Amino acid sequence: MTDTQTLPPLPDRLSQDPRSPHFVRDIFEHDIGIHFNGKERFDVAEYCISEGWVKVPAGKTVDRKGQPLLLKLKGKVEAFIKPA
């Protein structure tokens, strides 16, 4: 069984918000995982590998437009595509 589908390279910076300039729709066709400081995180809204940060929601807090407030956490970031 050979995998004929090639996986796209993950960008250095990626956001799950469609309004962001760092949103890439083609990447989200695959299941993406994030390791932050050696542990897998499931709540990452945006990441940047070169600058070493992730943005995660601050609980249930939202801004006046209804978008979640995000905290920027700094550390070692690794992004990968999960195997199917």
Q: Which two tokens stand for residue 24?
A: 């890439």
Rounded mean pLDDT of 41-63?
96
Largest Cα–Cα distance in the chain? Answer: 51
In Å, how far from its chain's centre is CA 10?
Answer: 10
22-46 pLDDT, tens digit per residue, is 999 999 999 999 999 999 999 999 9
CB 60 within 8 A of CB 70: no
Mean pLDDT of 53-68: 94
Residue 84 has pLDDT above 90, yes or no: no
